[in-house]
Amino acid sequence: MSPKFVNRGPLSDQHENSASEGVAFIKKHNKTSTEMKINGSIISILHTFTAYSAFILALIVGLKLHYLKIVKNEHYGYPDEWIPSVSATIGDRYPERNVFQISIALTCPFRLTLLILWFYTCKATALTKIAPKSTKLPLVVFIVGFLRTITAGIWVYITSSDDHDIHDVGMLLYMALTLPYMFTTISSSSNLTQLARTNTFESKKTTRYRKIVCFSFIIAIFPMLYWFIQHKVNKVAGAYSIYAIYEWFLIIADVLFDAVTYYEFKLIDLSIQISPDNLKSEIPLSRIGPALHETSSSRHD
| Per-residue pLDDT tens listing for the chain (301 residues) | 333 445 455 434 434 443 444 455 555 555 555 667 888 899 999 999 999 999 999 999 999 999 999 999 888 899 999 999 998 999 888 999 999 999 999 999 999 999 999 998 887 665 554 555 557 888 999 999 999 999 999 999 998 888 888 988 999 999 999 999 999 999 988 877 778 777 888 889 999 999 999 999 999 999 999 999 999 999 999 999 999 999 999 999 999 999 999 999 988 888 777 666 555 544 454 554 454 454 555 555 5
What's the total number of domains in the chain? Answer: 1
Amino acid letter, residue 132: P
Instruction: Tell me the C-alpha distance between 162 and 93, whole Å.
Output: 11
Rg of the chain, C-alpha, whole Å:
26
Instruction: Give domain status of residue 297, yes or no.
Output: no
Distance in Å from the first CA to the final CA of the chain: 44
Task: Give the pLDDT confidence score for residue 20 in this predicted structure.
Answer: 45
Instruction: Give domain status of residue 281, yes or no.
Output: no
Instruction: Give domain status of residue 68, yes or no.
Output: yes
Instruction: Give domain status of residue 75, yes or no.
Output: yes
Instruction: Give domain status of residue 203, yes or no.
Output: yes
- pTM beyond 0.75: yes
User: Structural domain of residue 8, as residue ranges?
Assistant: 2-276
CA angle 257, 260, 265 (to 5 degrees): 135
Task: Report long-range pairs for 294-298 (Cβ below 8 Å, ≥24 apart).
Answer: none
Contact between 174 and 151 (Cβ < 8 Å):
yes
Q: Please choose, from the candidates 160, 189, 155, the residue with its C-alpha nearest in 3D space to the C-alpha of residue 172.
A: 155
Sign of the torsion angle spanned by Cα atoms 174, 176, 180, 186: positive
Upper half-sphere CA count for residue 17 (Cβ side, 13 Å)? 6
Instruction: Give domain status of residue 294, yes or no.
Output: no
Instruction: Give domain status of residue 183, yes or no.
Output: yes
Supply the DSSP string of the chain, one letter for each residue.
Answer: -EEEEEE--TTS-HHHHHHTTSSEEEEEETTTEEEEEEETHHHHHHHHHHHHHHHHHHHHHHHHHHHHHHS--SS--TTT--S--HHHHHHSSTTHHHHHHHHHHTHHHHHHHHHHHHHHHHHHHHTSTTS-TT--HHHHHHHHHHHHHHHHHHHHHS-TTT-HHHHHHHHHHHHHHHHHHHHHHHHHHHHTSHHHHH-HHHHHHHHHHHHHHHHHHHHHHHHHHHHHHHHHTS--TTHHHHHHHHHHHHHHHHHHHHHTHHHHHTTEEEEEEE-GGGGS-SS-HHHHHHHHHHHHHHHH-
Contact between 146 and 184 (Cβ < 8 Å):
no
Instruction: Give domain status of residue 301, yes or no.
Output: no
